[in-house]
Amino acid sequence: MRTSQPTRRGLLAASLAGFAAGAAGQGCAPGGRGKQLSVVCVGGHPDDPESGCGGTLARYSEAGHKVSIVYLTRGERGIPGKSLDEAARIRTAEAQEACRILKARPVFAGQIDGATELNSGRVADFTKLLAAETPDLVFTQWPLDTHMDHQVAGLLTIRAYYALGGGFRLYFYEVDAGSQTQGYRPTDYIDITSVREKKKSALFAHKSQHGEEIYRRHHELMENFRGREARVTAAEAFVHLYCDTSPAELPLL
């Protein structure tokens, strides 16, 4: 725990360079101004990264950084009436189109929608996959979530973070706040107003998931609310896994 917390307005990252450059100062990861960052986003299914982190990823790619999206599964159980293989083909193509829009590289981790696993073997495999991306900055799903695949995506990333010695800056993103994401209190915000349309296009590429309806019912409201907290039009909110090693101070102790 940090000994003092900045104001909520102060948490708004005015520039992506400022958002990532602090990694060097905290000893968490390399990075800083003038360096091309390797930015990785992990999600349980195709459309999770786009919905919770798509605007931030768009801003990083527009700023010239390398962006990769790791999909834990191919969404095999996400289309009623389709076999696992049929659904995987459809949703893989949708994910690839979304990544094209965001100028990101898709990576598929090989687990199965609705049957994801968290064990030593899966942790080892995921750690190797993530290490291959040489990340400076990683976004993953908040593990307090009603969907097990989302939990597994977040926990695998945490285990990889520790296995790799905390060699990158780690943030958690939210999806469907209050319904799936639970107990989420942001530490950082990114203004996505300028890339909101691009994020929408990436999310809408997931036609099998009715992306336009999902955005209207859930994510547009979240962006507006987080924007209001950050005093901008639209924002995405994150929780930073701090690696500050200074002594913690708890209330009344």
pLDDT tens digits, one per residue of 191-241: 999 999 999 999 999 999 998 888 899 889 999 999 999 999 999 999 999
Rounded CA gap, 4 and 194, in Å? Answer: 31
**Residue 50 near residue 98 (C-beta atoms within 8 A):** yes
Range list of β-strands (E), 117-227: 137-141, 169-173, 188-191
| CATH code of the domain occupying 36-240 | 3.40.50.10320
**For the chain, domain boundaries:** 36-240
Query: Mapping DSSP to helix (H, G, I), strand (E, B) and coil, where does residue 35 land?
Result: coil
- The structure's pTM equals 0.87
**Residue 209 near residue 47 (C-beta atoms within 8 A):** yes
The mean pLDDT of 68-87, rounded to a whole number, is 97
How is residue 224 written in tokens?
């507006």
What mean pLDDT, rounded, does the chain reach?
A: 87
Model confidence at 124: pLDDT above 90: yes
Q: How far is CA 5 from CA 11, 57, 152, 248, in A?
A: 9, 26, 29, 12
pLDDT at 213: 87
Helices 48-62, 84-102: inter-axial angle, 10-degree rounding: 30
Among residues of the chain, what percentage have pLDDT more than 90?
76
